Structure 1
Amino acid sequence: MRVAVIGAGYVGVVTAAGFAEFGNEVVCVDKIPEKVEMLRKGEIPFYEPGLQELVGKNLKEGRLVFTTDSPQAIRDSLVIFIAVGTPPRGDGSADLSYVEEVAREIAANLNEYKVVVTKSTVPVGTSLRIKEIINTHKNNNTGFDVASNPEFLREGSAVYDFMHPDRVVIGTDSDAAKAILRDLYRPLYLRETPFVFTDPKTSELIKYASNSFLAMKISFINEIANLCDALGADVHVVAKGMGLDGRIGPKFLHPGPGYGGSCFPKDTMALLRMAQEAGYHFHLVDSTVQVNQKQQE
């Protein structure tokens, strides 16, 4: 299957290399010529264990190419993954300008049926927005479908996470898109990886809900740590005792300075913003953010 991945950042390169390893013909697109030239040589502009070897192997075997020519990549591909950045705005909401730019470019080069898939972490309703943009800007009657397929990659184990995911989430209202994406993920389907097929809005929310819940566990154990200091208890033993409960699990129960990185702060704030726009006060996530901010002071 011919696949295009738009955006050669962390998610884009891992996704492109992973699908190439599955046996697909993959072209990964980026606007920065210097970055594309590096990637063509098998040089990765960031460190991720195992990724350089995976990229190098698939470059050598001809299944993976890097380019700045997005129009050609779009025209040649059946499935197009959008993996561009969605940085936070000042109010905490996600900036979709890069996603919308890609949608307009897809519309301008829609020469035959495509499945357009969001890999980027995007707010609920983005798939519908992409569909509206493409319908508005396309210059023919060519059909297409839009789907949500959020990534769940951890820094430091992204290659493993792509090849051995806990689950694959696919949100689409189209039976054709569902069948194509199932076929694309066939190696994982045969391995009996759990698949969650749902509608686009639910799929988009799963990513935010997952990250916000993990952030909440971090804030919770930090609150327990503060209480342990006041009572003279040992938070590490408390965390161990909690984590041995199968319903809770030991992960993300490590007290410290709070969560950071590129995902949790952005995604918790974006979820709060989405809830606010829907007229709902998300008390738990609001408290999670406040506890984390206080922990970092």
Structure 2
Amino acid sequence: MKISVIGTGYVGLVTGVVFAHLGHKVICMDKNKEKINNLKKGIMPIYESGLKEMATKNYEERRLLYSFDIKEAVQKSDVIMIAVDTMPKKNWQTDLTSIKEVATNIGIYMNSYKIIVNKSTVPVGTGNLVEKLVKKNQKKKFKFDVVSNPEFLREGQAINDTLHPDRIIIGSDNPSATIKVVELYQDMNSIVKITKLKSAELIKYASNAFLATKISFINSIADIAEATESDIEEIAEGIGLDKRIKREF
């Protein structure tokens, strides 16, 4: 399948490289020309174990291409993955500027049916916003579907987490689009959970919030352990043996 990944930050670059490794034709697109030119030279904007080697191999074998041309990325793909930055603004609202820009350009340059897959961390309802913007900016009314497929990567483990994820969440309101996205992951022996579009968007936020809560909780327990001369490592191991809590995190 032909895939374009819009955004070559942490999520986008790792995602594009791994899908190329799995045999798909991938264009990693970014409007930052310097970053794209560096990628063509094998200079990675981030460090992740195994990323440079995997990227170089697939680039040399022409499964992986780099481009700063959004028109090319849209028109030469079956699946368009959005992986742009959505860091919060000063008021802590999610900045959807890049998402809106990408959706607008997809509408302008769309030349056939596309599946638009959002991998960025976005508020619930962003998929519907993308759909509206694409429709609004279409020159010709081609059909398309919007899917939410959030990432759950850990820094330092991103390649492994992409190749061997705990679970794959695919949120879509169109069964045929869901099937096609599932096919992208057919070589991965992982649990696939199919949900509604909005449910997948909230799963990402809920997962992040829950993990942050666990960190905050164990930090509070560590303070108590220090005050009572207890061993926090033993405590963490002891509560982690409860299968409802688990020890992985």
Same-fold call, TM > 0.5? yes
**Corresponding residue of 1:79:** 79
1:228 CA drift (Å): 2.2
SS at match of 1:117: strand
Q: Deviations over 1:159-214 (max 9, x none)?
A: 001111111100001122112111221212xx3x1001011110011111111111
Distance 1:229 1:218 in 2: 16
* Equivalent residue number for residue 227 of structure 1: 224
Output the TM-score relative to the length of structure 1.
0.82
Question: Which residue is equivalent to 2:67?
Answer: 67
Cα separation, 2, equivalents of 1:167 and 1:250: 18
> For 1:89-108, what aligned pairs fall within 5 Å after superposition?
89-108=89-108
1:201 paired residue number:
198
Q: Which amino acid aligns with 1:155?
A: E
Secondary structure of residue in 2 paired with 1:186:
coil
Distance (Å, rounded) in 1 between the aligned partners of 2:231 and 2:18:
43
Q: For residue 43 of structure 2, give the secondary structure of its aligned residue in structure 1.
A: coil
The number of residue pairs the alignment matches comes to 249
Cα drift, residue 27 of structure 1:
0.3
2:118 is the alignment partner of 1:118: yes
TM-score by length of 2: 0.97
| 3-state SS of 1:250 partner | coil
Q: Tell me the equivalent position of 2:177.
A: 177
What 5-or-longer segments of structure 1 have no aligned partner?
A: 253-297
Partners of 2:233 and 2:72 in 1: CA distance: 55
Q: What are the Cα deviations for residues 244-289 of structure 1, in whole angstroms up to 9, with x where unaligned?
A: 222212233xxxxxxxxxxxxxxxxxxxxxxxxxxxxxxxxxxxxx
What does 1:157-168 correspond to in 2, within 5 Å? 157-168=157-168
Q: Which amino acid aligns with 2:191?
A: P
- The answer to whether structure 1 residue 243 and structure 2 residue 240 are counterparts is yes
* Distance in 2 (alpha carbons) for counterparts of 1:72 and 1:229: 58
Question: SS of 1:187's equivalent?
Answer: coil
AA aligned opposite 1:184: L
Residue 234 of structure 1: CA displacement? 2.4
| Pairwise CA distance, 1:136 | 1.2
Residue aligned with 1:152, SS: coil
- The one-letter amino acid of 2:24's match is N
RMSD of aligned alpha carbons: 1.1
- Return structure 1 stretches of 4+ with deviation > 4 angstroms: none
**What corresponds to 1:109 in structure 2?**
109
- Per-residue deviation, 1:232: 3.2
Q: Which runs of 5+ in 2 are unaligned?
A: none
Deviation of 1:125 after TM superposition, in Å, equals: 0.6
